[in-house]
Amino acid sequence: MEARSRNFGFGFPGYDGCFPKATRSSRGRGDHTMRKSLEASDLPKEMCFFELLATVAGQLLQEQDGEALASRSLVDLKAPKMSASSVLASGMRSCHAKGSETAIKAKEEEATEASKDLRNRSDKCYEPSGANFCLHDNSDPLHGKNVDVKPLEEPIKAYSSRKRKPSGSMSCQGSAVVSSINWHTKTQPIAPRSDQCTSKGKGDCHEDAIPGHSVDKKETISWNKQEGVVDQLCIPQCQEIDLLAPFQDIESPLLVSSGSSEETPFSLEPKSYSTVAFENGQGEVREEISSWKVGDDDDNSSESTVPKSLLTKSSSMSYNRAMKARRCTNSTVRRRGLGVGSKRKCHEMEDGERSQNEKSRSGKVKNKMCKLPFPKDDNEQSHNLPMGILVDDDGSPIHCEREKSSSVMSSPITASPTKQDDTNVKLSIKSFLVPELMVALPESATVANLKKAVMDAAMSLLGGGLCVRVLLQGKKVTDETESLLEAGISDGGKLDSLGFMLEPNPFPASAGVDDTFLVLSHNANQTSSRYPVVSKGSEINTGSYHVGPSEGLLEIDANSSGTEMQSTTVSPSKEDGLVHESNGLVIPGSCALVRHSGQANNSPNGLAVVPFGPSAGSIGINKRRIRRPFSVSEVEVLVQAVEKLGTGRWRDVKLHAFPQAKHRTYVDLKDKWKTLVHTASIAPHQRRGEPVPQGLLDRVIQAHSYWTAQQAKQQSMETKDSWIVSLLTTILTTVINWRHLPGMEGQQKQSIRDRATSKSRKRWETEDSIVSAKRVAL
DNA sequence: GTTAGGG
DNA sequence: CCCTAAC
């Protein structure tokens, strides 16, 4: 509560003369005190005197409540103070103040039209609150068709596509269709996805027994009509996800055959693993797709080894370095595949955040998010893997030029503005890393053994099912109903801070896969017969296994926890010739212990796909959110909401004004209001950032003053309430004590009673005068 | 989970 | 925008 301001002003636009309900503090403590007082009044009934007091007290309290209720009843949030179009127009004026008059006019007309049309739109936010302001998403509400401020005199009926929780934002302005890449195992289909991943398009990816641990099995992964490329078992050096729409009904399987029939545990012939081909529905190899595989010349051939495909170059290098170091020092060596690179990258991102923003703003392409009304039907039999789709407004797919750079650790995700449209978010994923793996094997083991061990570890991981986690600025994006734009995954956002993390599927056999995860492969039943992954904190595998009959132990630490960002790194410590593992596994000290780590020490579980995060090369460290300055239109909406709801009800403000803007939390709104108040109080030349129209700032001042006054008033009332309660309690307590005072003369009792009464009355009167004085002051 | 406030 | 205390 900002009690500092005593500059009380009234009569700002939108102010309806009352505040809707008590502040949190009053709702909480006040009521609590009240309850206490009422409880305290639970006294012997034979005390007529007390009953009288209690009755009076009750009446007093009721009177108070009645006042409050009457006051609250005056609040009519549903009565629009400003029509949507007027809000829009006003916002536009401020937003496009520098634009031409005609442009403004056109926008206004468009907005008016749009507001008229609001109820007929199925992709608009359903706002049940009745507030007459609403910012649906983070798109500028004043931009064209994205009419975000709308009248809500009555709830806009949600259409079928909106039959989901209001938080889901599926607004799609264009006819864009998001296709998805569908994966499932033939033997064990992936549970139908229940989120936006499903689409009407049927694209099935058949995976004939992804070689979880069994290298003998042939793996056939297919997906349909994907434009993206998953290089080599989804661990590409350079992978670009492009999203195509609309769905076609052809199957364009990506074939990844693992044709190895090797039986020898430690002899891995990589060639036998990766046979990747893209086919269309007719079985023809799609040249187009292979042509996408630029930048991974070294790895995209069918001769690429699986380990190589599973480990990025850097991780492989670190792996090798680790081995090397191990030989030299005979100690555990940890390598972080992404350490330096990601660190540098992160710094670049931090430093370049603004420039990036500016770049994209000035940039040629302004993206507009298209989100598809994916059926949430769990019965949808296509197990879709949404990879996102880039489409034009007309739904035609966008083809982007593949970057020719083959730099492994270059910016893993790049925005590739290729078309003059406002629709698409184009991502290029350049590398994945496998999760942190730990392999322990005897020094006598051969390199082939090591390769095999790593292979099995990776396969075990894959066998358990992998999920894709989307990270933004190091933070997991958990709400999959968020649009890319809302999530900040747009050209306007920080695409270079976007990351993908593979992590073991926490629900490998579950039918209802967590919406948060995208299952890349799913053959949970395919447990390793020999070398399951030791996966800490994971439900996938928890055992440790011997490698071979007499080869010592192979331990693979997938370092995987389905959800925790916290590292579950098992740091094997050698003591007395033994390596104690946290699971209780004891590894003979003679084992060479190689820790393969694609991450920094406190890396999240699973594997980082993209190096990002500012420090330590860890994606888990950079938890700071992207700075997304409020636009003038957002400020407008915020101001209006606060005018209506007041300060101190930020959750309501959020729900009413920014229901769909996931990136605007009520804390953000509160902070923004704070800065707005501050901004309004300083000289214009001291202000920074996008200038807020003075008119808005004036409203901020007015609203702030008013609500501050209201809160002070409310507090006074509460204080008075508390004094009433205190008075009654004192009186009643005194009475009780008085009645039970043994051997006291009636005159003495009367004296005590008189004193108590007069004392209480004095306190009451004193407090009353204070309240009155405050009221006058207000 | 919300709110308020400092940083 | 983050963090924390208080509720």
Is A356:A410 a contact under the CB 8 Å cutoff?
no
H or E segment and range at residue A393: none
Q: In Å, what is the separation between the CA of A17 and the C1' of B1? A: 29
What are residue A466's phi and psi, to 5 degrees? -115, 145
Residue A662's pLDDT is 86
Please tell me which residue lies nearest to nucleotide C6, judged from CA to C1'.
Answer: A25
Distances (CA, A) of A546 to A440, A534, A556: 10, 11, 11
- 3-class SS letters over A285-308: ECHHHHHHCCCCCCCCCCCCCHHH
Q: In Å, what is the separation between the CA of A152 and the C1' of C6? A: 35
Model confidence at A656: pLDDT above 60: yes
Q: Which residues pair with A2 in a beta bridge?
A: none
Q: Residue A12 and residue A3: Cα distance in Å, rounded?
A: 19
Confidence of residue A652 (pLDDT cuts 50, 70, 90): very high
Please tell me which residue lies nearest to nucleotide B1, judged from CA to C1'.
Answer: A651
| Coil, helix or strand at residue A154 | coil
Q: How many CB atoms lie within 10 A of CB A625?
A: 15
Is A587:A555 a contact under the CB 8 Å cutoff?
yes
Residue A432's pLDDT is 52
Q: Is the CB of A704 under 7 A from strand B?
A: no
Residue A392's pLDDT is 32
Model confidence at A741: pLDDT above 50: yes
Q: In Å, what is the separation between the CA of A101 and the C1' of B4? A: 43
Average pLDDT, integer, range A750-775:
50
Q: Which residues of A365-379 are buried (b: 16+ CB within 10 A; e: fewer)?
A: bbbbbbbbbbbbeee
Model confidence at A423: pLDDT above 60: yes
Average pLDDT, integer, range A724-747:
70
Question: Closest nt to A674 (CA→C1')?
Answer: B5
Model confidence at A645: pLDDT above 70: yes
Q: In Å, what is the separation between the CA of A371 and the C1' of B2? A: 31
Amino acid sitting at position A713: K
Q: In Å, what is the separation between the CA of A464 and the C1' of C6? A: 44
Structure confidence by residue, pLDDT tens digits, A15-24: 444 444 344 4
Nucleotides of chain C in contact with protein CB (under 7 A) are: 1-4, 7
Residue A729's pLDDT is 78
Among A555, A562, A649, A651, which residue's Cα sits nearest to residue A595? A555
Confidence of residue A30 (pLDDT cuts 50, 70, 90): very low
Residue A630's pLDDT is 92
Q: In Å, what is the separation between the CA of A347 and the C1' of B7? A: 23
- A306-310, A386-390, A414-418: least confidently modelled range: A386-390
Model confidence at A639: pLDDT above 90: yes
Q: Is the CB of A24 under 7 A from strand B?
A: yes
Work out the end-to-end distance of chain A between its first and last CA atoms, rounded to an integer number of angstroms: 16
Average pLDDT, integer, range A402-412:
33
Please tell me which residue lies nearest to nucleotide B3, judged from CA to C1'.
Answer: A648
Confidence of residue A235 (pLDDT cuts 50, 70, 90): very low
Average pLDDT, integer, range A258-280:
30
Look at chain A and count its residues: 778
Q: Residue A79 and residue A350: Cα distance in Å, rounded?
A: 45
Among A235, A241, A239, A238, which residue's Cα sits nearest to residue A181? A241
Q: In Å, what is the separation between the CA of A589 and the C1' of C4? A: 46
Q: In Å, what is the separation between the CA of A710 and the C1' of B3? A: 16
* DSSP assignment of A161-207: GG-S-TT----B-S-----EEE-EESSSPPPPP-STT--SS----EE
What are residue A377's phi and psi, to 5 degrees? -65, 120
How many alpha carbons lie under 13 Å from residue A155 in its C-beta half-sphere?
Answer: 9
Residue A86's pLDDT is 37
Distances (CA, A) of A631 to A140, A661, A665, A690, A691: 7, 13, 15, 8, 9
Is A482:A662 a contact under the CB 8 Å cutoff?
yes
Q: In Å, what is the separation between the CA of A22 and the C1' of B4? A: 15
Q: Is the CB of A108 under 7 A from strand B?
A: no
Confidence of residue A728 (pLDDT cuts 50, 70, 90): confident
Q: Residue A371 and residue A354: Cα distance in Å, rounded?
A: 27
Q: Residue A513 and residue A508: Cα distance in Å, rounded?
A: 8
Amino acid sitting at position A245: A
| Coil, helix or strand at residue A73 | helix
Q: In Å, what is the separation between the CA of A351 and the C1' of B7? A: 22
Ranges of H-type helices in A658-693: 666-681
Q: Is the CB of A504 under 7 A from strand B?
A: no
Q: Is the CB of A4 under 7 A from strand B?
A: no
Q: Residue A100 and residue A335: Cα distance in Å, rounded?
A: 58
Q: In Å, what is the separation between the CA of A602 and the C1' of C4? A: 24
Among A323, A340, A341, which residue's Cα sits nearest to residue A332? A323
Is A731:A53 a contact under the CB 8 Å cutoff?
yes
Structure confidence by residue, pLDDT tens digits, A71-88: 333 233 333 333 333 333
Residue A485's pLDDT is 67
Model confidence at A442: pLDDT above 50: yes
Residue A720's pLDDT is 72
Among A600, A611, A621, A502, which residue's Cα sits nearest to residue A560? A502
Q: Which residues pair with A557 in a beta bridge?
A: A534
Question: Closest nt to A654 (CA→C1')?
Answer: B2
The DSSP symbol for A547 reads S
For residue A54, what are its two tokens?
């209690």
Q: What is the pairing mode between strands A184-185 and A206-207?
A: parallel
Highest-scoring range by mean pLDDT, A53-67, A443-457, A689-703, A729-743: A689-703
Model confidence at A453: pLDDT above 60: yes
Question: Closest nt to A663 (CA→C1')?
Answer: C1
Q: Residue A437 and residue A556: Cα distance in Å, rounded?
A: 6
Highest-scoring range by mean pLDDT, A65-74, A308-317, A368-377, A652-661: A652-661
Omega into A412 within 30° of 0, i.e. cis?
A: no
Q: In Å, what is the separation between the CA of A278 and the C1' of C6? A: 59
Q: Residue A760 and residue A754: Cα distance in Å, rounded?
A: 10
Q: Residue A312 and residue A261: Cα distance in Å, rounded?
A: 25
Residue A740's pLDDT is 65
Q: Which residues pair with A185 in a beta bridge?
A: A207
Q: Which residues pair with A517 in a beta bridge?
A: none
Question: Closest nt to A29 (CA→C1')?
Answer: C7
Q: Residue A70 and residue A266: Cα distance in Å, rounded?
A: 81
For residue A36, what are its two tokens?
């206490």
Distance of CA A624 to the CA centre of its chain: 12
Q: In Å, what is the separation between the CA of A23 and the C1' of B4? A: 12
Q: In Å, what is the separation between the CA of A520 and the C1' of B1? A: 34
Please tell me which residue lies nearest to nucleotide B5, judged from CA to C1'.
Answer: A1
For residue A163, what are its two tokens?
């039959």
Q: Is the CB of A206 under 7 A from strand B?
A: no
Amino acid sitting at position A262: E
Is A238:A295 a contact under the CB 8 Å cutoff?
yes
**Domain ranges within chain A, ordered by starting residue:** 24-74+666-777, 176-628
- 3-class SS letters over A256-268: EECCCCCCCCCCC
How many alpha carbons lie under 13 Å from residue A338 in its C-beta half-sphere?
Answer: 39
Residue A492's pLDDT is 55
H or E segment and range at residue A512: none
Among A95, A98, A76, which residue's Cα sits nearest to residue A87? A95
Model confidence at A690: pLDDT above 70: yes
Model confidence at A684: pLDDT above 70: yes
H or E segment and range at residue A542: none
Question: Closest nt to A473 (CA→C1')?
Answer: C1
Q: Is the CB of A20 under 7 A from strand B?
A: no
Average pLDDT, integer, range A387-393:
30
Residues with CB under 7 A from strand C: A 25, 28-29, 623-628, 663, 667-668, 671-672, 674-675
Model confidence at A778: pLDDT above 90: no
Residue A144's pLDDT is 31
Q: In Å, what is the separation between the CA of A356 and the C1' of C1? A: 19
Q: How many CB atoms lie within 10 A of CB A749?
A: 14
Q: Residue A205 and residue A225: Cα distance in Å, rounded?
A: 10
What are residue A70's phi and psi, to 5 degrees? -60, -40
Q: In Å, what is the separation between the CA of A364 and the C1' of C1? A: 29
Q: Is the CB of A583 under 7 A from strand B?
A: no
Tell me which residues from 670 to 689 on chain A have a beta carbon below 7 angstroms from nucleic acid strand B. Answer: 670-671, 674
Q: Is the CB of A652 under 7 A from strand B?
A: yes
Q: In Å, what is the separation between the CA of A536 and the C1' of C3? A: 30
Question: Closest nt to A651 (CA→C1')?
Answer: B2
- 3-class SS letters over A434-494: CCCEEEEEECCCCHHHHHHHHHHHHHHHHHCCEEEEEEECCEECCCCCCCHHHHCCCCCCC
Q: Is the CB of A19 under 7 A from strand B?
A: no
Q: In Å, what is the separation between the CA of A29 and the C1' of B3? A: 13
Question: Closest nt to A652 (CA→C1')?
Answer: B2
For residue A637, what are its two tokens?
């909406």
Please tell me which residue lies nearest to nucleotide B2, judged from CA to C1'.
Answer: A651
Nucleotides of chain B in contact with protein CB (under 7 A) are: 1-7
Structure confidence by residue, pLDDT tens digits, A6-16: 333 344 444 44
Q: In Å, what is the separation between the CA of A76 and the C1' of C6? A: 31
Q: Is the CB of A627 under 7 A from strand B?
A: no
Average pLDDT, integer, range A267-276:
29
Question: Closest nt to A627 (CA→C1')?
Answer: C1
**Top-confidence residue, A598 or A663:** A663
Question: Closest nt to A27 (CA→C1')?
Answer: C7
Tell me which residues from 709 to 728 on chain A have a beta carbon below 7 angstroms from nucleic acid strand B. Answer: 711
Structure confidence by residue, pLDDT tens digits, A114-139: 433 333 333 333 333 333 555 554 43
Q: Is the CB of A665 under 7 A from strand B?
A: no
Q: In Å, what is the separation between the CA of A464 and the C1' of C1? A: 38
Q: In Å, what is the separation between the CA of A29 and the C1' of C7? A: 8
Residue A64 CB contacts under 8 Å (≥ 6 apart), including other chains: A717, A721, A724
Structure confidence by residue, pLDDT tens digits, A149-166: 333 333 333 333 333 333
Please tell me which residue lies nearest to nucleotide B4, judged from CA to C1'.
Answer: A1
Distance of CA A275 to the CA centre of its chain: 37
Q: In Å, what is the separation between the CA of A651 and the C1' of B1? A: 10
Is A286:A273 a contact under the CB 8 Å cutoff?
no
Residue A627's pLDDT is 87
Q: Which residues pair with A277 in a beta bridge?
A: A255
Residue A61 CB contacts under 8 Å (≥ 6 apart), including other chains: A34, A37, A38, A721, A724
Average pLDDT, chain A: 46
Model confidence at A677: pLDDT above 90: yes
Question: Closest nt to A668 (CA→C1')?
Answer: C1
